[in-house]
Amino acid sequence: MLSYIFRRILQSILVLLVVGLVAFAMFTFIGDPIDNMLGQERTQDDIDRLRGELGLDQPFVVQYVKFILSALQGNFGVSYEQGRPVAQILAERAPATLELAAVSAVFALSLGVVLGVYTAIRRKGFVANLVLTLSLIGVSLPTFLIGILLIYLFSVQLDWLPSFGRGETVALGGWTTGFLTSSGLTALILPSITLGLYQMTLIMRLVRSEMMEVMRQDYIRFARARGLPERVITFRHALKNTMVPVITVTGLQLGSLIAFAIITETVFQWPGMGLLFINAIQFVDIPVMAAYLMLISVMFVGINLIVDLLYVAIDPRLRT
Amino acid sequence: MGLLDITDLTVEFPTRRRLFVAVDGVSLDVQPGEIHGLVGESGAGKSTVGAAVMGLLDPPGRIASGNITFKNQQVSGLDDEAMRALRGRKISMIFQDPLTSLNPLLTIREQLTETIRVNLDVSAEDADKRARDLLDRVGIPDPDTRLDQYPHQFSGGMRQRVVIALALCSEPDVIIADEPTTALDVAIQAQILDLIRDLVDERRVGVILITHDMGVIADTTDRVTVMYRGKVVETGPTAKILSTPEHAYTQSLIAAVPRPHKKVHRFPRINYGGDDPDFAIEDLSRNWPQYDNVSGDPLLQVRDLTKRFVEKRSILPWGRRYFTAVDQVSFDIMPGEVLGLVGESGSGKSTVARMIAGLYKVDGGTVEFDGDLVSDLSNREVQRAYRQEIQMIFQDPFSSLNPRMRVDQIVAEPIRHHRLLPTVDIPVRVAELLDQVGLGAEARQKYPHEFSGGQRQRIAIARALATQPRFLICDEPTSALDVSIQAQILNILKDLQEHLGLTILFISHALPVVRQMCDRVAVMQRGKIVELEDSETLFTSPSHDYTKELLSLTPRTENMYERPGSEPK
Amino acid sequence: MSVFHRFWDSDFAWDFRHSPVAVVSFLVALLLVLSALFAPLIATINPFEPGNLNLMNGFTAPGTQNAFTGESFILGTDDQGRDVYSTILYGMRISLFVGFAAVALGMLIGVTLGLVAGYFGGWTDAIIMRIADVQLTFPSILVAMLIFGVAKGFTPVEYRDQLAIWVLILSIGLSDWVQFARVVRGATLVEKQKEYVQAARLIGRGAMPILVRHILPNVLSPVLVIATISLALAIIAEATLSFLGVGAPSTQPSLGTLIRIGQNYLFSGEWWILFFPSATLLALALSVNLLGDWLRDALNPKLK
């Protein structure tokens, strides 16, 4: 088991290095940072001096190692657009995105699993079929349309909930939270539903199909033949076996919430990292793009590691 | 009145095209302390009977008519709730594959105590004690440790013992055992059947034993019911049915069981129901190249053949672990000879075949064919010639034909690949080949799924003959087929050897079949050949202990019905 | 029996005929694809032709007469006076073209790499699948955005609008090859073990004929399912990118661009600019998704 986890950690580090390479390649080959950082009135001396300062005259590998080392220290360079350190900008924006993603994750996971199990065991029921049909519409509705729809209903027509921004926030050290004010909480409702709905339908459909697959297995038939009540079969035998494949996919899904937040943040003008990234793409602000990419991949890799550990906890076959 | 009575049971599966009657007016009963065998070939409806009794029919199957009673209490037609009260508590079931019958994520203790507590009103400690006793009873050593293990930590035979323990949890009166030993090796199979027999005698339970294997019926059951296409054709005491069967189907079914105790020239063919095609293997011999099969040199020489598989992967060389599947195997095959290779699953016999065929790289040793070193896969010249001379018949005719190719394309592929004939002549040749294995002209335009198992195996034989090979490897060519079809296929193979002078390596785990087919036999155990003898000598006076053990496990067939006129040789 | 009769009589065709959902969604998808294909014939104007636009026609509600020009439009006009009906038809052309082309690209890459990885195994497999794993850790929309951003960095400013469509295809296509590769690799591993592949090797067939003639035809049905679902996802991805302003330019609006424009007028009451493109997008994505869902069930023998 230890070797399994060790191997996963090694793989994770490899993934991070590859992502780092992609991010670094973006730096090196796209546009010329000198062009971006120096104004129109520049001399060859300025260019050479900056080139030396940034280490651009060194070989590729040396630059890459330096890039990784400084990234490890939280140094991602300076934004072309804003002229401030990228790390600082990201730190300001991160709480908004992380709070939004966390609320959406709880929403998507709890509702997704419950509805998935329900639709799997009441296969022929009216409610189950209705939920299933609605879920297909949910998958077919692009996230931004869901957001617009919710805004139209709850902000424009009913005027119950705010249509943009985070509301009032409270600063706790370097972290700004919207959990402590009522306007902050109401502002979270629409965006987190928008962000979580798609993941929720995916999780639900996955739980349902895996559960139905498990219900066809011989050990479920055998459990029935031994006279075990349906309740025990569903929740003890089937659900646990369903969880093995569900956990992997769910881990990935929840990780992707942070990236999917880009769309939701645009629709709701939510001041998070996603909005920052979209602006960065439009301005080809490479340092911001690269840093965002690195940050997201660190989060993904972290989530994947947790998933792997959960895997081992659930499946005894991996423990030996 | 018996313990369990099934009267006039009819089970239907409505499908799109027609109403499929899987079980048609079947009646049978079980008494306490009795094993009632339910035998038939695949598709006879025997498993459906078991599922109907348990109320576990897969939709859209339904009981159309008939009655099932348990101790005079109505079973069929009960609602789910009432059915559950019977299931497990009164009637239990054992499934075919112990690998999939146990929940992989729960310990044996959890699965046992849960079942005990659901069915019997006992305390947690008592349930625990009972679980331990049950494991002990079904012959699992060291039950205290084993209880806390997971199913994947048990071997196949041990797992089936756990399954039996689970079925016994609630002290049921009736157990339905659906092919309980089919997935197991012969030696394990005998142990499990003995265990079931003992339990029946000891606890006076009634067992319905569903199987396709006449040997299992002969060894274990008290009474037997024979099913054919959903109907009962004959029922009665096992000894009587086996020695003097009355129905023609039962007669041919029993007669088709290969006998280990003496050699016959041809396998008796089933002459009831199923298709009985004409073969024209003799025709083939007219254009077949004649080889000199009498000179003294062996056609195939295998020396110190070795194959290792990686058991545990690792980046570090010293972290890797290997499993030696084939360990320094050597033998010769003379031209025109049939050499048998027998052993249990995992003994390495198929791996030997695949190395000879060049499908696996060898890890050591050599294979020489007609003087050429063919185990060196890099010699293209030799390989190309060798590919024409050697062909193989595989075990599973459902996987050995590409489902997306037409039959004529399948048979023509080797001819086209080796450019043996001008394109215009290929259809004629394909038609001839199919005709010679007993398939009509209309077969050419069809796809494999439109054929039965036996017909598919004949298509595979036609493909193997397309290049006019000298050497044929048959890897368990009949073990996926019903007894009645086995005889057909074995007879074709015999014809091939007789009329075309083919040299054959015949691989099987079924000793009776090997005896009928082979001139010499090699016995393999754990990757090594333990005995290589004349077929006659090996079967009458085996010298190695393992061979003796294998022989002792073959079903008793001395008193079984033999068709009048089946000629001893 | 003719080929058509064989098909008509097959279980697959029978299932299709007896599934109202499948028939309806097929017809809706077909209608939308056909109307996109024949847009120049059924649209009233070509909205991509700046000369056809009259700013005076801006914000005309559906079915009403414009106060200045007296013209009326079945689905109204947008802020620049573009006929919404015609713009949707032309926008759908772009959405569908990008969708089909991106799926074709993803499929070509994914199926090839999946076959190669599954059949040859070893290092080839390890490298291909590690790349797939890394890419899979990122949602495809993010990958598409990154590729889009990178491509934008490479293309000179004056060509960006012209190349935008191709960059879209490239970025969506490259972001979804992984699904194909994983499924095809899995299926290839299964097929490789089957004895018909061994039989072909025994005859002496090389790797290429075995992959193309034997394995490929047998892994096509899951590919078909993935392709259908991917088409819906690609259409949504294109709409999303365009909505975010990193996709189709506003001179050649796709459905997503139209929705982006329409969103600005949500609060001021010009609902039709947003509503009709959104409804079309939903109808398109939903019908393709329903078809894919049905296909998956119909082609999965385990569910029968």
pLDDT at B304: 92
> What is the average pLDDT across B269-291?
67
Would you say residue C74 lies in a domain?
no
Neighbours of B16 (CB within 10 A): 8
Would you say residue C69 lies in a domain?
no
More confident residue, A160 or B115: B115
pLDDT at B214: 85
- Preferred mutation among C24, C150, C152, C266 to probe A, highest tally of A CBs within 10 A: C150
- Preferred mutation among B399, B407, B457 to probe C, highest tally of C CBs within 10 A: B399
Quick check: C202 and B467 CB within 8 A?
no
> What is the average pLDDT across A179-184?
77
pLDDT in tens, B164-183: 889 888 888 999 999 888 87
> Which of B76-80, B399-403, B501-505 shows the lowest per-residue confidence on average (mean pLDDT)?
B76-80
- Please report the domains of chain B, with CATH numbers, ordered by start residue: 33-47+79-255 (3.40.50.300), 291-397+472-561 (3.40.50.300)
For the cut 90, the answer to whether the pLDDT of residue B435 exceeds it is no
B429 Cα to chain C: minimum distance (Å): 17
For the cut 50, the answer to whether the pLDDT of residue B377 exceeds it is yes
Domain ranges of chain A: 91-272
Q: What is the DSSP string of A126-144?
A: HHHHHHHHHHHHHHHS-HH
More confident residue, B547 or C2: B547
Q: A136 at the C interface (CB within 8 A)?
A: yes
pLDDT at B265: 66
Q: What is the DSSP string of A16-50?
A: HHHHHHHHHHHHHHSS-HHHHHS-SS--HHHHHHH
d(CA A79, CA A71): 14
The alpha-helical segments, DSSP class H, found in chain A are: 2-29, 33-37, 44-54, 60-72, 86-121, 126-140, 143-150, 182-215, 218-225, 230-232, 239-268, 273-283, 286-314
pLDDT band for position A5 (50/70/90)?
A: confident
Long-range contacts of B288-295, Cβ-Cβ distance < 8 Å, separation of 24 or more: B288/B468, B288/B500, B289/B468, B290/B501, B291/B335, B291/B470, B291/B501, B292/B335, B293/B335, B293/B336, B293/B501, B293/B503, B294/B335, B295/B335
pLDDT at C70: 64
Are C225 and C296 a contacting pair, CB within 8 Å? yes
pLDDT at C83: 79
CA angle centred on B94, ends B88 and B99, rounded to 5°: 120
Cα end-to-end distance, chain B, whole Å: 48
Is the peptide bond prior to B60 cis by the omega test (within 30 degrees of 0)?
A: yes
Task: Scan residues 35-94 of B and list those with Cβ closer than 8 Å to A.
Answer: 54, 56, 80, 84-89, 92-93
Residues of C in contact with B377 (CB under 8 A): none
More confident residue, A253 or B149: B149
Would you say residue C77 lies in a domain?
no
- Which helix or strand (DSSP H or E) is residue B131 part of? helix B124-137
pLDDT band for position B222 (50/70/90)?
A: very high
Are B107 and B148 a contacting pair, CB within 8 Å? yes
Residues of B in contact with C10 (CB under 8 A): none
Residues of B in contact with C188 (CB under 8 A): none
Q: Sheet harboring B223-228: ordered strands across?
A: B91-94, B174-178, B206-211, B35-39, B223-228, B231-237
> What is the average pLDDT across B316-340?
84
C148 Cα to chain A: minimum distance (Å): 8
Quick check: B403 and C201 CB within 8 A?
no
For the cut 80, the answer to whether the pLDDT of residue B476 exceeds it is yes
Of C134, C139, C239, the CB nearest to A142: C239
Would you say residue C55 lies in a domain?
no
Burial zone of B303 (CB within 10 Å; 0-12 exposed, 13-18 middle, 19+ buried): middle
pLDDT at A268: 87
For the cut 50, the answer to whether the pLDDT of residue B569 exceeds it is no
Closest residue of chain A to B118, computed from CA coordinates: A228
Of C195, C202, C217, the CB nearest to B399: C195
Average pLDDT, chain B: 85
pLDDT at A37: 60
Q: Which positions in chain C have a beta carbon within 8 angstroms of at least one beta carbon in chain B?
A: 11, 14, 194-196, 198-205, 213-214, 217-218
pLDDT at C163: 77
Residues of C in contact with B385 (CB under 8 A): none
- Count of alpha carbons within 13 angstroms of residue B333, beta-carbon side: 29
d(CA A131, CA C176): 28
Q: Give the three-class secondary structure for A227.
A: coil
Quick check: B87 and A316 CB within 8 A?
no
pLDDT at B236: 92
For the cut 60, the answer to whether the pLDDT of residue B567 exceeds it is no
Quick check: B104 and A219 CB within 8 A?
yes
Distances (CA, A) of C120 to A241, B376, C179, C206: 32, 20, 19, 12
pTM, whole model, 2 decimals? 0.81
Low-confidence ranges of chain C (pLDDT < 50): 302-304
Query: How many structural domains are present in chain C?
Result: 1
Average pLDDT, chain A: 81
Quick check: C137 and A252 CB within 8 A?
yes
Residues of the domain holding C104: 3-44+82-303
> Which of A43-52, A180-189, A239-248, B171-180 shows the lowest per-residue confidence on average (mean pLDDT)?
A43-52
Residues 6+ positions from C260 with CB-CB distance below 8 Å: C242, C243, C244, C245
Instruction: Return the CATH class of domain A91-272.
Output: mainly alpha
- Preferred mutation among B313, B402, B406, B473 to probe C, highest tally of C CBs within 10 A: B402
Residues of A in contact with C142 (CB under 8 A): 256, 259, 262, 296
pLDDT band for position B566 (50/70/90)?
A: very low
Distances (CA, A) of A205 to A113, A257, B426, C221, C298: 9, 17, 52, 21, 17
Amino acid at A165: G
pLDDT in tens, B393-433: 998 888 899 988 999 999 999 999 988 888 888 998 898 88
Quick check: B394 and C200 CB within 8 A?
no
Residues of A in contact with B172 (CB under 8 A): none
Residues of A in contact with C256 (CB under 8 A): 142
More confident residue, B263 or B504: B504
- Which helix or strand (DSSP H or E) is residue B37 part of? strand B35-39
pLDDT in tens, B39-75: 988 878 888 998 888 888 887 888 888 888 888 888 7
For the cut 90, the answer to whether the pLDDT of residue B35 exceeds it is yes
pLDDT at B568: 39
Highest-confidence range of A7-16, A220-229, B252-261, C132-141, by mean pLDDT?
A220-229
pLDDT in tens, B5-29: 999 999 998 877 778 888 998 999 9
* Percent of residues, chain A, with pLDDT higher than 90: 2
Nearest to A145 by CA among B158, C242, B178: C242
pLDDT at B489: 85
For the cut 60, the answer to whether the pLDDT of residue B282 exceeds it is yes
Quick check: C198 and B359 CB within 8 A?
yes
The alpha-helical segments, DSSP class H, found in B438-561 are: 453-465, 483-500, 511-517, 535-540, 545-552
Of C139, C239, C285, the CB nearest to A256: C139
Quick check: C153 and A256 CB within 8 A?
no
pLDDT at A319: 67
- Preferred mutation among B101, B112, B208 to probe A, highest tally of A CBs within 10 A: B101
> Which of A80-84, B147-151, C29-33 shows the lowest per-residue confidence on average (mean pLDDT)?
A80-84
- Which helix or strand (DSSP H or E) is residue B175 part of? strand B174-178
B76 Cα to chain A: minimum distance (Å): 15
Phi, psi of B11 (to 5 degrees): -120, 130
- Preferred mutation among A21, A129, A139, A158 to probe C, highest tally of C CBs within 10 A: A139
- For β-strands B390-393 and B471-475, DSSP reports them as parallel
Quick check: A232 and B102 CB within 8 A?
no
> What is the average pLDDT across B347-353?
89
Dig out the tokens for A77 from the structure. 């360079």
Distances (CA, A) of A73 to A68, A69, A85: 9, 7, 13
Residues of B in contact with C194 (CB under 8 A): 399-400
pLDDT at B109: 92
A14 Cα to chain C: minimum distance (Å): 9
* Percent of residues, chain A, with pLDDT higher than 70: 91
Residues of B in contact with C198 (CB under 8 A): 354, 359, 392, 394, 400
Quick check: A320 and B85 CB within 8 A?
no
b/e code B196-207 from CB counts within 10 Å (16+ = b): bbebbeeeebbb
Distances (CA, A) of B369 to A51, B63, C186: 70, 59, 36
pLDDT at C176: 85
Q: Give the three-class secondary structure for B380.
A: helix
A23 Cα to chain B: minimum distance (Å): 29
- Preferred mutation among A3, A212, A216, A222 to probe B, highest tally of B CBs within 10 A: A222
